[in-house]
A and B are shown apart, each in its own frame.
Chain A
Amino acid sequence: MAVLCACGTGGGNLGRPSCFPVFDVTKQAILVEYLKPDGSINGIELAGLTGGILDQTYLDARVKDVNGKSRWYPTPELKNITDERAEDITETFDDTSSVFIQEGARSFSGLIIKGDPVLLGNLQKWRCLTIGVFFIDKAGNLIGKKTRDGYLDPILLQDESFSASLIKGTDTTKQKDSLSFIISQLENDANLRMIEGSDISANLLGVGGLVDVTATTVSNITTTGFDVQLDTSFGGVTSLIPAEGMGLADFQVFNNTTSSVVTVTSVTESTVTAGLYTFVIPAQTAADELIVTNPAVGPLSKSLDLAQFTVNIP
């Protein structure tokens, strides 16, 4: 970002308080879509923090938001962080003197230990989006930018700069995913600010993102219920890791034929087959189509994000 010259007011004061906080090394990034569906920046409204504290309720509401457009997507812990600006761009003259033109781009990279192709695929889905990022540092501070009153906003990334790749393990190294991006030239390091860890009561450092859950098989469908095997995307192709611990509040069933919500009577998690759930519902009409999704209003109660699936009543 171009730095404005303060011709009318002179330079800025260079004094500092005797004691003040600084950023620590980054441990996690939180990816967000930079703009919400309403066009506003997907930032933190500071007045929305209870007593000025970022508490667990607030964090859950963001990380487990049922709306993927406004949700926070924290990465696993990052290693070997680089977060540096390139050399300034200058114009050099014949007498070998030079003048400042603009700052070099700030590029970021990090490694996710035990990163795998599933996580890689989810990272790659970000590439075409307009991305913002918050950083969580080692001290538990949440770092963003403050360019509008009353908000800590995510830092804008340069379009199409986001990249992720798989680094396979070797005889001496563990498999990893790497991710890298470049901070937008519209951003200015002088605008970076943080919510200090002392003002964060939530378990922010180490916060996990949601895990995708899909319906592998739907069986035993009757007018009053069905069974469904719910698995995560992780594991072997014949041994997917099941989605365990889900319950009644984690689902919504919608009758797409009659356009009405079906109030589920009960959900039973199998004690024999992990991830197998039995739904009992009020009697539906033959040939109706049911759509099972996350609850319509969040936050989600678990860190599991169900991809909608369809049940056709026989």
Chain B
Amino acid sequence: MENLNLNNKIIKIGNTEFNKNSFEGMTKDEFKKLYRGKLAVDLDDAWKQLKPKNRVKKSTSKKDED
């Protein structure tokens, strides 16, 4: 079986441990639909922690494209 080394992928919010990598490509609406009624914390707050705005994005500058 594949070994999942989760130590650096886990974020704990309230009583829930999330695998951060599982939210790549997920929208906020999809997240809220998936977790509706399942978390003891506010879903908007949880989403903010899972999808921080300061995430490093791929550069799309013209210089890089050149």
Of the listed stretches A195-203, A229-237, A264-272, chain B binds A264-272
In the bound assembly, the distance between CA atoms of A302 and B1 in angstroms comes to: 21
Among B2, B7, B40, contact of A249 (Cβ-Cβ < 8 Å): B7
For the complex formed, measure the closest distance between the CB of A308 and the CB atoms of chain B, giving whole angstroms.
12
List residues of chain B with CB within 8 A of the CB of A263. Answer: 4, 19, 21-22
Query: Which residue of B has the minimal Cβ distance to A248?
Result: B17
B17 in complex: contacting residue of A224, A225, A267, A270, CB < 8 Å: A267
B63 within 8 A of partner (CB): no
Contact A266 B3 (CB under 8 A): no
Does any Cβ of B come within 8 Å of A247's Cβ?
yes
- The reply on A261 being an interface residue by CB < 8 A is yes
Interface presence of B59 (CB below 8 A): no
Name the A residues within 8 Å of B35 (CB-CB).
266, 280
**Is the Cβ of A264 less than 8 Å from the Cβ of B19?**
yes
Contacting pair A296 B18 (CB below 8 A): no
Q: Determine if B39 and A268 form an interchain contact, defined as CB atoms under 8 angstroms apart.
A: yes
| Cβ contacts under 8 Å, B34 to chain A | 224, 265, 280
Chain B CB within 8 A of A181 CB: no
Is B15 interfacial (CB-CB < 8 Å)? yes
Q: Is B49 an interface residue (CB 8 A)?
A: no
Contacts A266-B18, A280-B38 known; A247 to B3 CB distance under 8 Å? Answer: no
What residues of B have a CB within 8 angstroms of the CB of A267 in the complex? 16-17
Please tell me if the beta carbons of A252 and B17 are within 8 angstroms of each other in the complex.
no
- Give the nearest-CB partner of A224 in chain B: B34
User: A297 within 8 Å of B by Cβ?
Assistant: yes
Count contacts on A: residues with CB < 8 A to the other chain. Answer: 23
Interface residues of B in 1-30 (CB under 8 A from A): 1-7, 10, 12, 14-19, 21-23
Chain A residues whose CB sits within 8 angstroms of the CB of B6 once the complex forms: 248-249
- Chain A 225-269 per-residue mask, 1 if CB under 8 angstroms from chain B, else 0: 100000000000000000000011100101000000101111111
Query: Are A266 and B15 in touch, CB under 8 angstroms?
Result: no
- Judge whether B16 and A268 touch: CB under 8 Å: yes
- Are A282 and B2 interface neighbours, CB within 8 A? no
CA A94 to CA B22, docked complex, whole Å:
85
Q: How far is the CA of A270 from the CA of B16 in the complex (A)?
A: 9
CB-defined contacts of A249 to chain B, threshold 8 Å: 6-7, 10, 17
A278 close to B (CB within 8 Å):
yes
A278 to B34, CA, bound (A): 12
Residues of chain B contacted by A271 (CB below 8 angstroms): 15, 40
Some 9 contacts from A to B, beta carbons below 8 A apart, are A224-B34, A247-B12, A248-B18, A263-B4, A265-B22, A268-B39, A278-B38, A296-B3, A296-B4
Given A263-B22, A265-B22, A278-B38, 12 more pairs with CB closer than 8 A? A249-B7, A249-B17, A252-B4, A261-B2, A266-B19, A266-B35, A268-B14, A268-B40, A269-B16, A282-B22, A295-B4, A296-B3
